[in-house]
Amino acid sequence: MSLRGLTPAEVLDKALAGDRHAIGRLLTLVERGGGPADEVASLTHALGQDATVIGITGPPGAGKSTLVGQLIKEATKNGARPAILAVDPSSPLSGGAILGDRIRMDDPDSDSFIRSIATRGHSGGLALAVPGAVRVFDACGFDPIIIETVGVGQVEVDVTATADTTIVVMNPGTGDAVQANKAGLLEVADIFVVNKADRPGANEVRGDLQIMLDLSHMTGREEAWGRRPPVIMLKSLEGVGFDELWQEIQTHRGFLDEGDKRSSRQLLRQEAEVEARLEQILHLAAGDVMKSAAGTQIMAELNSFDLAPATAAQRLAALLLEAS
């Protein structure tokens, strides 16, 4: 069964009917970017948005993959149909995944869907590919959509900051709470998880976390929820603690659904996506103007030290921008 001759709209029809190959194909189109990705984005956007987006982040090695595997089981047991998007930022030059190549196998007999996403070099790629993939999953009826990120860099914070529910995962005895604080993850967490809670140092991490939450100003998330983010002690390998985690996710969802707070986070995600698209258009326009005749002249004056860098940039901007 080949999908290659079909238009994006035809592939979407098959995906909406539950064809897993078609869903995978849409995700591939989204990941590659360009015209077909925009078409998939437009088609799925028109279907509206309904699913809850859960962001899971934390330092590398915190056991997020195992945790997500168990969370899928717990969600399925409770009648949900989760989709998982594992985000791998790529190397800028080689296109390879810096943080380790991970192959995630999807089980075709399962009702859930697991997909690893990476972007091969195109600028702002993840900022466009992630919302596109979320929308494909949403259109195909998956809920919740779980975004799992690899590290604690800019990409991770950006992705998880706009999730409906953000879960920050830490390990015992590794200084993870301090790392998470430094990376700004305490600010965006709705729920904390201490993974491998049977290991020495688990209670210390919990304690560190409480101290940091005590010391810091109340976070935006904390203030919104009117509640200190809960700290769940998990044993992922044994599957212990996932009923409590799932319950807290439902409690947070219930809070968001009161007063339509969930749709306001959806709007934030949409606006971040449009901003990323706009920046990409401007980036291309900037490249063009630097290569234009007028741009070349400005760069020549810069290079003969007759024009300062700030002035050169202002002149180039004046060539590009309306009424400036």
Using CB under 8 A, list all residues that contact its own copies.
38, 41-42, 45-46, 48, 91-94, 96-98, 131, 152-154, 157-158, 179, 181-184, 187-188, 267, 270-271, 273-275, 277-283, 285-287, 290, 299, 302-303, 305, 308-314, 316-317, 319-322, 324
Pick the closer one to its own copies by CB: 78 or 303. 303
> What residues pair up with 186 in beta bridges, in sequence order?
none
Residue whose tokens read 């200084």: 175
Pick the closer one to its own copies by CB: 79 or 92. 92
SS3 210: helix
CA distance 238 to 241: 9
Closest to 136 measured CA to CA, from 65, 54, 6, 37: 37
Pick the closer one to its own copies by CB: 237 or 317. 317
Work out how close the CB of 72 gets to its own copies at its nearest, in angstroms, rounded to a whole number.
Answer: 28
Question: Which residues fall within 8 angstroms of residue 34, CB to CB, at 6 or more apart?
Answer: none
Work out how close the CB of 17 gets to its own copies at its nearest, in angstroms, rounded to a whole number.
Answer: 22
CA distance 29 to 23: 10
Residue whose tokens read 């986070």: 265
Pick the closer one to its own copies by CB: 211 or 282. 282
Work out how close the CB of 67 gets to its own copies at its nearest, in angstroms, rounded to a whole number.
Answer: 22
Q: What single-letter amino acid sits at 95?
A: G
Work out how close the CB of 302 gets to its own copies at its nearest, in angstroms, rounded to a whole number.
Answer: 6
Pick the closer one to its own copies by CB: 112 or 270. 270
CA distance 35 to 127: 16
CA geometry: angle 39, 40, 43, nearest 5 deg: 85
Pick the closer one to its own copies by CB: 74 or 208. 208
Check: CB of residue 151 under 8 Å from CB of residue 183.
no
Work out how close the CB of 20 gets to its own copies at its nearest, in angstroms, rounded to a whole number.
Answer: 25
Work out how close the CB of 202 gets to its own copies at its nearest, in angstroms, rounded to a whole number.
Answer: 24
